[in-house]
Amino acid sequence: MRPSREAEYTDYIQGRLPSLRRVAYLLCQDWQRADDLVQTAITRLYTHWGRARNAASIDAYARTILIRTFLAERRSAWSRRVTLFSAYPDLPAAADADPDTRLDVRAALASLPPRQRATLVLRFYCDLPVEETAAELGCAPGTVKSQTAKGLSALRRALDPVPAEEN
């Protein structure tokens, strides 16, 4: 890669690394695995920088690589055989956020299947519309809608374990 392109790539990564790391954490719920995901994603981005820099949105291109890396890792035999555990790091709390609720939501999100988790992270954390989410996941918009509905339903069940009594 030419020095000017390499400098452009380095500037981009330095500015976007914290954001990519947060998205990766929301996907895998482990900071060390998130760092590994981001490292793999930015390595792939480096190899495709010529295409990425000409894309309509470099952020979308990088996020797509990150999401697809996460989903591919979840499909591999290694992720089914090896489970890594770590304590949750101390994250800065949002204003007036209830720490117990935050932990409950995080645990409920971690219990979702990878595709539903990726869909919810893209739709609600990254605030992407259905069409962009579908493009990043490489699926149809209808699939995004159904994965969103299933994921939200599962989150509601996990966060409200006592079902309302029927009249």
- What does the domain layout of the chain look like in residue ranges? 1-84, 97-160
| CB crowding 72-91: b at 16 or more within 10 Å, else e | ebbeeeebeeeeeeeeeeee
CATH class of the region 97-160: mainly alpha
pLDDT at 162 over 90: no
State the Cα–Cα distance between residues 53 and 50, nearest whole angstrom: 6
Domains 1-84 and 97-160 share a fold: no
pLDDT digits (tens, 9 = 90+) for 103-139: 888 888 989 999 999 999 999 989 999 999 999 899 9
DSSP assigned state of 53: T
pLDDT digits (tens, 9 = 90+) for 20-57: 999 999 998 889 989 999 999 999 999 999 888 888 88
Q: Tell me which fold the domain 1-84 belongs to.
A: Rna Polymerase Sigma Factor; Chain: A (1.10.1740)
pTM above 0.85, yes or no: no
Res 3: pLDDT: 82
Burial of 54 (0-12, 13-18, 19+ CB in 10 A): exposed
pLDDT digits (tens, 9 = 90+) for 51-93: 888 888 899 999 999 999 998 887 766 554 555 555 544 555 4
Res 53: pLDDT: 85
CB 65 within 8 A of CB 120: no
Res 18: pLDDT: 93
